[in-house]
Amino acid sequence: MSAVLAVDDLVAGYVADLPIVTGVSMTLSPGELVTIIGPNGAGKSTLVKAIAGLVTVMGGRVRLEGNDITGIQTHRLPRSGVGYVAQSSNVFTSLTVHENLRVASHTLGAERAERLADAYEMFPDLKRYRDQKGRVLSGGQRQMLALGMALVCRPRVILLDEPSAGLAPAIVQDVFSRLRALADSGLALLMVEQNARAALQLSDRGYVMAEGAAKIEGPANDLLADPKVAEIYLGTRRAS
């Protein structure tokens, strides 16, 4: 299937002449869940932020369904078809659940009420906490709210930076199952994860990033079975 998101030789960073992401190419097809793993400081978040227009792109291209969205202004992302779920502070804690969803859907027109209703149907917890402030939500509920906020604009692609960070193991599976189900419904999801094994087990493909570059890529099962990947990134390294 042709790619919905295509990243070509992307170079990006925070300071001029000091790229952190040094030439990454990747693709994402509809219905795919793709996970990026790699050590701390590899540039995983920087890559996703660069795709989302949050970090300066110094070279290369990002295309969404063939349209160039390189360096897109972040506030235009949702309408262009890309949802971005940041690693932390991804909901407004001083606003209620409903207010958060209203902020996320403010660019919508007549379809807004229906989209909000869809979000509540998909995440019953959000309905239960509709008038509660974001700050009272559990970690898992916050991730569901952040995901709901990304979904209200009906994206074709969702970018997620460590959606399982800080969650209890049982909740991690909950969140990952949601992501898998969204992919199965045709959405394309690109996520960065530290929880490498659990993420790859539910993913179609994966990329291993190190030092600002995608060093290894392949079907998730191949990465899980690769002894080099397993030793370094999947926690099978023996204590010496």
**Footprint of ligand ATP (CB under 6 A):** 14, 20, 38, 40-46
Partner from Mg ion, ligand ATP, none binding residue 105, C-beta < 5-8 Å depending on class? none
CB contact set of 202 (below 8 Å; sequence gap of 6+): 33, 176, 177, 179, 180, 220
Partner from Mg ion, ligand ATP, none binding residue 42, C-beta < 5-8 Å depending on class? ligand ATP
Give the shortest CB-238-to-ligand ATP separation in angstroms.
23
45 binds Mg ion (CB under 5 A): yes
CA 29, CA 1: separation in Å to the nearest integer?
Answer: 6
Give the shortest CB-199-to-Mg ion separation in angstroms.
14
Give the shortest CB-96-to-ligand ATP separation in angstroms.
30
Give, in order, the Cα–Cα distances in Å from 174 to each of 18, 63, 169, 189. 39, 31, 9, 16
CA 142, CA 86: separation in Å to the nearest integer?
Answer: 12
Give the shortest CB-210-to-ligand ATP separation in angstroms.
9
123, amino acid identity = F
- Binding residues for Mg ion, rule CB under 5 A, total 1
| Stretch near Mg ion under the rule CB under 5 A, chosen from 24-32, 44-52, 119-127, 231-239 | 44-52
Residue closer to ligand ATP by CB (options 44, 205) is: 44
Going by their DSSP bridges, the two strands 21-28 and 67-68 should be labelled as: unpaired
Residue closer to ligand ATP by CB (options 40, 185) is: 40
Residue closer to ligand ATP by CB (options 132, 194) is: 194
Residue closer to ligand ATP by CB (options 95, 210) is: 210
Is 145:134 a contact under the CB 8 Å cutoff?
Answer: yes
46 binds Mg ion (CB under 5 A): no
Going by their DSSP bridges, the two strands 213-219 and 56-64 should be labelled as: unpaired
Q: Which residues of the chain form beta strands (DSSP E)?
A: 5-13, 21-28, 33-37, 56-64, 67-68, 82-85, 157-161, 188-192, 205-210, 213-219
Give the shortest CB-56-to-ligand ATP separation in angstroms.
11
Partner from ligand ATP, Mg ion, none binding residue 20, C-beta < 5-8 Å depending on class? ligand ATP
Give the shortest CB-37-to-ligand ATP separation in angstroms.
9
10 Å CB burial of residue 177 (0-12, 13-18, 19+) is: exposed
**Backbone phi and psi for residue 156, each to the nearest 5 degrees, phi listed first:** -95, -20
Binding site for Mg ion (CB under 5 A): 45
